[in-house]
Structure 1
Amino acid sequence: MSTPQTADFWFDPVCPYTWLTSRWLREVERVRDVAVHWRVMSLSVLNEHLDVDPEDPEGQWGDYMRGPGRVCAAVSERHGSQALGTYLDALGVRLHERGEWDGAERALADAGLPTELAAVAWTDEYDDAVRVSHEQGLALVGPDVGTPVLSVRGAGALFGPVVSPAPKGEAAGRLWDGVVLMAGVQDFCELKRPYGALDFG
């Protein structure tokens, strides 16, 4: 019996592109022998040194940007990586498909997790845990990228992939094969096309 490939996936749950990448990874798990370890990162932490946060230029969102990541960190610490992946599945549907920014408690219930964890969204209790996880991801790819970060153990790490819509079936598997190939090339740095080429429809 072969050992599955292992991937570490750092995500900020508020990022819609990252949500789509996570849907691709779920499909990859179905069509390839891959085990994903789910980890938290934060656009708020990434941009906190900037005078103007490009994700929140008016400075209006504050805890609404940080809160989902705090809950994710609590889920990870108390229930583990696989529970975090299950929570992301539920939270992403509510955040990105239904626009429910107040849906953390319902997403926890959907994922079979204690709903009281939603309260940490409005405290700084898990800010250090978010920061530590975030920095672990960035250490693999450098500070000039965002979310998501994907590390394929035994190959390497990359920012992305940013893909919309998330491919299904063997198309998802072929993209995985290409990402693993690129991650394994030490001198590979960047492959990109304009965001205008993407369609969330």
Structure 2
Amino acid sequence: MHVCGVDEAGRGPLCGPVVAAAVILDPARPISGLNDSKQLTPRARARLEEQIRSHALAWAVAEATVAEIDTLNILHASMLAMRRAVEALATIPAEVLVDGNRIPVGLLMPARAIVQGDALEPAISAASILAKEHRDRLLVSLDARYPQYGFARHKGYPTPEHLAAIELHGVIDEHRRSFAPVRAIVDQARLF
């Protein structure tokens, strides 16, 4: 019976997609050091990502776009990305373990929500790592296109640096207009 862990990365940032990953670990090839991605150093996450990709029975990464986030809201877009990740797995899991207190709508197999599951369930920890690493790479790539925003440093979170850059340079397509700090800057720009 294959159990899949699912987690997302990027609910709080002001830009970019929300990313989810689904992972079915191989009990015969345990990976040591799995933990909530936020508790790991970038170097540890990179090392573990490599091991997860090579040792897991199956894994998949999926996204919900900025347009989907602005249309659905961040919670529903996160659930959509999670469902997409599970559906993209090459192996169908018997059960899905989801980090948090909600289960994505439309899953075709039993699922359980586990609060703080990314620190409790190794498969969810693995999903957390894949999602975070994937999203961080997207923001580093975005930084190469828009260096004035500092995406490689703050990964899109609403830091003083990011907010100041939006004020100075304006909102780009990758910004989530439904998020209050971005919406406020857009509304302010309309006044002039």
The structure number with the bigger radius of gyration is 2
TM normalised by structure 1 equals 0.29
Structure-2-length-normalised TM-score: 0.30
